[in-house]
Amino acid sequence: MNRYYRQIDYSKFDKNMEEFVNENHIKSDTCYIIITSTKDKLTYILKKVDDRFKVLHVWSSTVGKSSTPTIKGIFKSGIKYPAIGGEKSSAKYAMNIVDDYYYHSILYDPKGLYVIDDRLGVAISMGCIRLATENARWMYDNIPINTTIIIK
């Protein structure tokens, strides 16, 4: 798979995601593909319709800051958790990308009761990709494990 994906033409990546996916014949084990542009700070959900992937959603996203950048590459969605967190913050509706990188909601207090950071469209995270809570929930509820993820 990795050798195949090295042949990808990224010239349409931030211009037309449907053309980028379909002209490169990007495949997924599910009917969805997730793409995050770290440059534009947008996450795209594409769904296969009649043998072509079509953009279903485009969401503003927070990505990693320069000292803790979001990982880039091609991945498969992994395990999901209703919440993740630590002593200082938590997040809802987490879906693993790889290692300690996740798609998840904006930040909540450690108990998940109130929002402590709702900024989107900026590069301030520790590497995870933050989404509005309702978008993270949609992804948690609808995106199957093994869905192709492209982050660039």
Measuring CA to CA, which residue among 55, 63, 18 is closest to residue 39? 63
Please tell me the distance from the alpha carbon of residue 93 to that of residue 86, in angstroms, as a whole number.
15
For residue range 33-80, what is the model confidence (pLDDT) as tens digits?
A: 999 999 999 999 999 999 999 999 999 999 999 999 999 999 999 999
**Spatial distance between the Cα atoms of 46 and 27, rounded to a whole number of angstroms:** 11
Q: 6-15: per-residue pLDDT in tens?
A: 589 999 999 9
Q: What share of the chain is helix, strand, coil (3-state, %, to 5)?
A: 15, 45, 45
Mean pLDDT of 140-145: 98
- In the chain, the amino acid numbered 146 is N
- The tokens describing 98, both together, are 């790889």
